[in-house]
Structure 1
Amino acid sequence: MELTRMKVVFFDLDGTLFDHHHSLRLAIAAMQRNYTGLTEKTVDELIDKYNIALQQAYDAYLDKVITYEEADVRKLHLFFSSLDLPEPSLDEVQKFRDTYKAVYRKNRRATSGSIEALARLREHGYRIAIITNGQVEDQTAKVKAIGIHHLIDRIITSEEAGYRKPDRRIFQSAIEQLGASLDTTCMIGDSVESDIKGALDAQLVAIMYSPTAQNSQKLLFGQQITIIQHMAQLLGHLGIGGYRVQPHFVSTPGRLMIEGIDTGLVWEPRHCLQVSKEGAQRDCSSWLKE
């Protein structure tokens, strides 16, 4: 199906629009510094163990086996068990939760290029929704924290819909809420099972978001699935012009703002490079005119 026919775009949140890995890495590193039992493992090893524990506990919550609060505690018990560490006390659990959540929330950010992509989609008249497994309050807060809430038409959560991805019914609910058509709607996500399989089961066009992928396509569930490594590529597939990549200078008294160094640095304030005018003249002399 021609992607240029799309009029509605559904996005996953965690790992697609929200840079979960960035927040997770910093939060796990903070936990490691506060607990000597974690120092024997690398941060990457701890992240792998934590993600497994997180998924197991969260799946139990989504299946309504345990409450959200219980999932938070079970996650840490599973994490410690996977590291062959003693089960944490209630005080330790609370300490870890406080440390983890404070650092995680402080460092929430959008994935590279996603804010620009959403803005360009809005400019071109696309309707945009997020389909996410989770609680309304938590996921909405996350969307607001990373600065994309004003660019989204609707946030559909598993809590509100009563179904979780990959259940086709949550996608069908999103279609109904936006008054969309199957043949002009696509789903972008990083999970093969939750996002790609779910979208295909709902007869939607599916696009895989994978920043580390080496290929532009992959055969999944009997279909060739388009893979994008950066949100700029999504715009290209939809027939929307790419990013401005030439450096742009904004001068204020005593400061010089440089934007647009490459596609990963454009538009997002957290990536803007601020330097003194003297520093820019010294380091970027090939770009600046006296």
Structure 2
Amino acid sequence: MGFFLETLIGGLMAGMLYSLVALGFVLIFKASGVFNFAQGAMVLFAALAMARFSAWLPDHLGIDSAWLANTIAFFLAGALMFVVAWLIERLVLRHLVNQEGATLLMATLGIAYVLEGVGTSVFGADVYKIDVGMPKEPVMILEGTFEGGLLINKEDFVAALIAAVLVGLLALFFQKTATGRALRAVADDHQAAQSIGIPLNRIWVIVWCVAGLVALVAGVIWGSKLGVQFSLATVALRGLPVVILGGLTSIPGAIIGGLIIGVGEKVSEVYLGPMIGGGIEIWFAYQLALLFLLFRPQGLFGEKIIDRV
């Protein structure tokens, strides 16, 4: 029982990180109705900015405290992501209002390549380290309840807790604030939203800023775990099955989908992997997403599209 709970808890913690990555996709889709292929590049760009700022500040400003340097670097990287969001709206999205979804989709592909190119040109293409003080050593809990206790990775636990808090705050933002309702209205119909006085350009800047903040947090967490490198852009691929499972328009779907996939990966790898040679954790999420595309393409919480003729 104790080993199963360890596996379950590990899956839940991994699932929260998947939910955080998937949230970036959901935010953009809810505001523009287009799938954002630039989300992975945003994670990479934000992580590169955080890593390089935290390294430059002690050298150029003489900051001795690592905590202070990381804090300033985080806010600088956040400000940079806000500037990126403003430039995306000013130079790209403003000229594509009321265009077809395929046009906006191709625009996000172009944004992805620009962010990857600018990021590696300005910050470099080496592997960088982000050390924000997250504990690396595991800890044993509930030793009196289960024989041998439960082994928990403290870094994964802290990362999952941060992701859960951010996801919860964003869910409240979308459901309880006037700006959140305006974002949902824009996603439903650009022209109708404009006709009732909702400023489309401002809404897009806000949602890309929020998506940039999500990308920054995800980049810091994954960068701390894996190091900041060019392949970090592919982390966003871990969010694709999550949004397919939960639904592209649902923030609760992103949360539940991430948890299901995180637990499913860990449990299947531990209990089914030895029977078939392992490697289930690599492809489990994509196989599950394929099944949903075949039988429930709108996902668990997505809106079912009904065409009347």
- TM above 0.5: no
Give the strand-richer structure, 1 or 2. 1
Look at both structures and tell me which one has the larger radius of gyration over its CA atoms. 1
Give the helix-richer structure, 1 or 2. 2
- Normalising by structure 1, report the TM-score: 0.29
- Normalising by structure 2, report the TM-score: 0.28
